[in-house]
Amino acid sequence: MSSRILVLSNFFFPDKAGGQAKLAYDLAQAYVSLGHEVWFLAQSLDKNTPLYQEINGLHVLRYFIKPSSGIDFTRYTKHISAVKQILGKFFPEHPDIVHGHDLLPYVAAVEELRGKARFCYTIHSPAIEELNINWKGQGVNGAIKRLLGLPVIKRLERKALESSDALEAKSNFTCALIRKHYGNNIAEKIQLIPGWVDTTRFQPLSKIVIAQVRSHLDWPNNFPVLFTLRRLEARMGLDKYLYALSIVKSRGYQVYAVIGGTGSWKDYLLDLSDQLQLSDDVRFIGYVSDEILPLAYGACDASVVPTSGLEGFGIIVLESLACGKPVLSTPVGALPEVVGAFESSWIAKSAESEAIADLICDFLDKKLPRYNELYVSEKLEIYSFSSALSAYIKWLDI
């Protein structure tokens, strides 16, 4: 039986990359393939983007809010109001199911449609934790936001959680944070559905192809390459990673670090790289396209995930492993759950620079267990999209 499903995300994945947006987009496309009528609502990056488009079978709705500078305590109300307006304009009939992936659009849908649909919410990471960390890195303005804004966010997040018929998360770590902030009654409603990786896209490369890809990407072929894909933001630990690379260099190792991603910390990290005299050893490549990403993972020697706070799952871990490359990570968030399921010795003793440097040096000295393709491929079966989709079908009750 066909259902009308409204999917709410932070962004529409073809517009902007990101873990949450990618998972929401994958699921929305799968719902379409199963014969459901699917509407996808997300924030737009461009005011000229049409409010409604039909794309690959999806009814895509976008709303635009002007970027703000400084402190704007009405911004959350602008998000909620914009979502309600676009729902009222293009979505006159109520959905059967609302599947939320992002707090503010989901709260708007709860307020507008409560009692008219089944409400299901995927907790990628608690908003109260995410914003607390983000605002910590914004100086005086951030301190004011934390003081006055966090109570508002907590109220909205509690409303979203309590209004949901079904809750889902990707890790025990996320469940523990929800329990900490909102209590056992809410936490016990959460079902775990792991993230996934497309092993038809992410696959190991042969030595010949690796050499060709490195030449194409202008990466060196004569010494180790480490690849990192992260948003350039405070909690991603990239500053500590740069200090770690400086330590590795001071110990006499030669390594080339490629860092992909965009974000507000770009200029700071570029300056820090220069200060640490790493300009010849570290390369920031900005946005990494869907076409290049599997090649980047396949052509590196290892990927590095230096997160310093709040990692709700880590799809990038699975993508690297599927491409045949080990993941050197910090013991933060859900990373011990995901990386540790494959090899616990790939996890640093802490998220500090010295510990990250020690881990990298151990890898370069071949002191760590190497990648076992058969073992990893068998483990990755747990993280297949087909398994996740079957779980979502039951969770959504469609």
DSSP string of 283-300, one letter each residue = EEEE---TTTHHHHHHHS
User: Is the per-residue pLDDT at 22 higher than 80?
Assistant: yes
Contact 259, 230 (CB under 8 A): yes
Rounded to whole angstroms, the Cα distance separating 280 from 312 reads: 33
Q: Would you call 156 helix, strand, or coil by DSSP?
A: helix
What integer pLDDT is reported at residue 193 of this predicted model? 96
What integer pLDDT is reported at residue 37 of this predicted model? 96
What integer pLDDT is reported at residue 135 of this predicted model? 84
What integer pLDDT is reported at residue 58 of this predicted model? 96
Contact 336, 241 (CB under 8 A): no
Rounded to whole angstroms, the Cα distance separating 270 from 26 reads: 33
Rounded to whole angstroms, the Cα distance separating 109 from 102 reads: 11
62 closest CA partner among 127, 10, 116, 123: 10
DSSP string of 207-261, one letter each residue = HHHHHHHHHHHT--SSS-EEEEE--SSGGG-HHHHHHHHHHHHHTT---EEEEE-
pLDDT mean across residues, the chain: 94
What integer pLDDT is reported at residue 199 of this predicted model? 92
What integer pLDDT is reported at residue 245 of this predicted model? 98
What integer pLDDT is reported at residue 138 of this predicted model? 80
In order of start, what are the domains of the chain with their CATH numbers?
Answer: 4-192 (3.40.50.2000), 207-382 (3.40.50.2000)
How confident is residue 333, by pLDDT bands cut at 50, 70 and 90?
very high
Distance set, CA 148 to CA 144, 154, 197, 355 (Å): 6, 11, 39, 36
Give tens-digit pLDDT for 137-179: 788 888 888 888 899 999 999 999 999 999 999 999 999 999 9
Q: Token pair of 79, please?
A: 């998000």
How confident is residue 348, by pLDDT bands cut at 50, 70 and 90?
very high
Rounded to whole angstroms, the Cα distance separating 160 from 168 reads: 12
Give tens-digit pLDDT for 45-59: 899 999 999 999 999
How confident is residue 386, by pLDDT bands cut at 50, 70 and 90?
very high
More confident: 245 or 312: 245
